[in-house]
């Protein structure tokens, strides 16, 4: 932004872990686990589901296999192993994909698993991925997914149960020549069929020596709400008869890919988004206030792919300095979609009702990054405006612990809207974030610069919601609009150091060996 492309190092580079957020779905029924060898339970459950494909609802069978310990000590994580999820798509569903021009498919799976111990509950998401698979014009299609799943830690002695629930497929489609179809991907949401037997129990694990309390167990959440932390805490002095009220802890792994060890989603260019000569990528994270709920939602680290524009210089008449302008473009990126990963927030609706929503920000048009400033060739200052048309989509909702079915089309009617400093040049509804940066030549930058990152702030109006609820079910548009929508919500996002992926020799202080951003920023309020 201040001239030809040069790396701008940070004085302190943050390597902190971001949050890995699970999508929480309604509990449902499945087939119980069977006992295996001594000390181990083997699960092999064939589950009937109904899935919403482009042409309508179709039946599908999901088979889950996994191994669990029969018994663990209080505070010892329960780690499912050898987990596979196999889904068989019927012929009409395969025909839907072929009709889109698909010759191959690669799937990411999400299975919601409910965890309960006594009256306390938590939820986790088992994620998996498949290898690329060729499609045939006729016949069913079997996809087998594997991947890491969360460990679960009971918060006292007694039986801990795991129950299967909602299931979803993210299908990336390719043509015969290896290109992407239009659309390039399809998300298929599935619900467990009513005929699934036996209450949905996948496994029961005994925590401690008996089902009764009275053991030194790690302390946990004081309520029945789930906790995303998997870090054991110090023993509690709480009475034994109260320990079973604390929710089991779910330690969610990050989505698969090279960034998994750093608890961040994959952020790299691919066949759909190939890198160009001025390509950057960077992680962003931060908070967004919701004034009506007197709280803030954390948006965990998400990926942006940036095409940096060439800087333009207009020299002062005496050549003592210059005006600088730069126009760049960007896309949100998550599994080849222009969106963020799902993120969760819990608020007290109407000041007393706990409400938990899982949300996604979807980009609906071009995202631009415009910078302007001045330099005297020793000191440079710039103002940067990021403009992004994004809608807020709600994928699941719980009110006071009760799931409400929001359907597949619950979202804001229009893009989030910010005050626009130049409405004639930038018309329409969009989010606007501003960052100001300064740099003395040869020293680290302060504030925000496109390459080195930094804070971006703004205000946003949250529009009314539409499409929330299911056909024949309760309409939730007015509930969400009354609870969430409104003006003047403060937003603060932190961009990390960008990785210049197109460099002949990428900078190891900016990029991982597989050309992902090295820095994962930490959210700031």
The per-residue pLDDT for range 184-208, each reduced to its tens digit, is 778 888 988 887 766 667 888 888 8
List Cβ neighbours of 194 (8 Å cut-off, separation of 6 or more): none
List Cβ neighbours of 36 (8 Å cut-off, separation of 6 or more): 42, 67
Tell me what pLDDT residue 370 has: 96
CB burial of residue 261 (10 Å; 0-12, 13-18, 19+): exposed
371: Cα separation from own chain's centroid: 29
For residue 416, what are the CA distances in angstroms to 40, 366, 378, 419, 430? Answer: 50, 14, 38, 11, 6
Query: Residue 355: how many CA atoms within 13 Å on its side-chain side?
Result: 23
159: Cα separation from own chain's centroid: 31
Cβ contact 386:332 at 8 Å: no
- Break the chain into its structural domains and give their ranges: 34-223+233-251, 260-500
Task: Name residues of the chain where pLDDT drops below 50.
Answer: 1-38, 210-244, 253-261
Q: Measuring CA to CA, which residue among 93, 168, 101, 173 is closest to residue 132?
A: 173
The per-residue pLDDT for range 9-66, each reduced to its tens digit, is 333 333 222 222 222 222 122 222 233 333 788 888 888 888 988 878 888 889 888 8
Measured distance CA(333)–CA(111) in Å, rounded: 22
Cβ contact 446:453 at 8 Å: no
Tell me what pLDDT residue 20 has: 22
Tell me what pLDDT residue 237 has: 41
Give the DSSP H/E element, type plus range, for residue 75.
Answer: none
Tell me what pLDDT residue 381 has: 94
Tell me what pLDDT residue 313 has: 92
The per-residue pLDDT for range 319-345, each reduced to its tens digit, is 899 999 999 999 999 988 999 988 877
CB burial of residue 91 (10 Å; 0-12, 13-18, 19+): middle
List Cβ neighbours of 6 (8 Å cut-off, separation of 6 or more): 451
For residue 159 the two structure tokens come to 């039986």
Tell me what pLDDT residue 349 has: 56
For residue 505 the two structure tokens come to 């020799």
Measured distance CA(468)–CA(395) in Å, rounded: 9
Tell me what pLDDT residue 254 has: 40
Strand bridging mode 201-207 / 71-72: parallel
For residue 479 the two structure tokens come to 């509930």
Tell me what pLDDT residue 262 has: 57
DSSP string across 95-144:
HHHHHTT-SEEEEEEEEEEEEEETTEEEEEEEEEE---EE--SSS-EEEE
Look up the CATH number of domain 34-223+233-251: 2.60.40
């Amino acid at each position: 932004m201040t001239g030809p492309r040069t790396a701008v190092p940070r004085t302190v580079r943050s390597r902190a872990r971001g949050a890995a957020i699970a999508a929480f779905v309604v509990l449902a029924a499945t087939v119980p686990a069977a006992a295996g060898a001594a000390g181990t339970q083997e699960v092999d459950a064939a589950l009937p589901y109904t899935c919403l494909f482009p042409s309508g609802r179709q039946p599908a069978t999901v088979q889950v296999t996994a191994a669990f310990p029969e018994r663990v000590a209080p505070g010892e994580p329960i780690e499912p192993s050898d987990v596979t999820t196999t889904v068989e798509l019927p012929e009409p569903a395969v025909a839907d994909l072929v009709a889109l021009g698909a010759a191959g498919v690669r799937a990411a799976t999400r299975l919601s698993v409910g965890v309960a111990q006594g009256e306390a509950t938590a939820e986790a998401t088992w994620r998996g991925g498949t290898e690329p698979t060729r499609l045939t014009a006729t016949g069913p299609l079997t996809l087998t997914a594997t991947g890491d799943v969360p460990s679960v830690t009971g918060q006292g002695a007694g039986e801990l149960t795991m129950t299967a629930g909602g299931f979803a497929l993210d299908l990336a489609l390719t043509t015969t020549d290896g290109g992407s179809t239009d659309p390039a991907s399809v998300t298929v949401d599935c619900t467990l069929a009513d005929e699934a037997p036996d209450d949905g129990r996948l496994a029961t694990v005994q925590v401690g020596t008996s089902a009764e309390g009275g053991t030194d167990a790690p302390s946990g959440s004081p309520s029945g709400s789930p906790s995303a932390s998997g870090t054991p805490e110090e023993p509690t002095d709480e009475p034994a008869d109260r320990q079973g009220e604390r929710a089991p802890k779910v330690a969610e792994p990050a989505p698969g890919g090279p960034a998994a060890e750093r608890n961040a989603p994959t952020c790299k260019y691919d066949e759909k988004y190939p890198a160009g000569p001025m390509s950057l990528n960077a992680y962003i994270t931060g908070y967004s206030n919701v004034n009506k709920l007197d709280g803030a939602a954390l948006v965990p680290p998400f990926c942006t792919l940036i095409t940096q524009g060439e800087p333009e210089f207009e020299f002062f008449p005496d050549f003592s300095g210059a005006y600088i302008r730069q126009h760049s473009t960007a896309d949100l990126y998550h599994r080849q979609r222009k969106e963020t990963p799902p993120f969760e927030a819990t608020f007290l609706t109407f000041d007393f009702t706990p409400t938990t929503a899982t949300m996604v920000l979807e980009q609906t048009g071009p995202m631009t990054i415009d910078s302007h400033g001045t330099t005297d060739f020793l000191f440079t200052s710039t103002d940067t405006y990021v403009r992004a048309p994004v809608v807020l989509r709600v994928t699941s909702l719980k009110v006071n612990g009760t799931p409400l079915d929001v359907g597949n089309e619950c979202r804001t009617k229009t893009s989030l809207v910010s005050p626009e400093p130049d409405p004639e040049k930038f018309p329409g509804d969009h989010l606007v974030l501003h960052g100001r940066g300064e740099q003395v030549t040869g020293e680290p930058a302060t504030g925000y610069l496109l390459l080195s990152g930094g804070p971006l702030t703004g205000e946003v109006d949250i529009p009314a919601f539409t499409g929330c609820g299911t056909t024949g079910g309760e309409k939730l548009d007015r509930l969400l609009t009354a609870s969430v929508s409104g003006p003047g919500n403060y937003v603060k996002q932190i961009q990390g150091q960008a990785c210049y992926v197109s460099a002949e020799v990428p900078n190891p202080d900016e990029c991982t060996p597989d050309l992902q951003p090295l820095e994962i920023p930490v959210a700031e309020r």
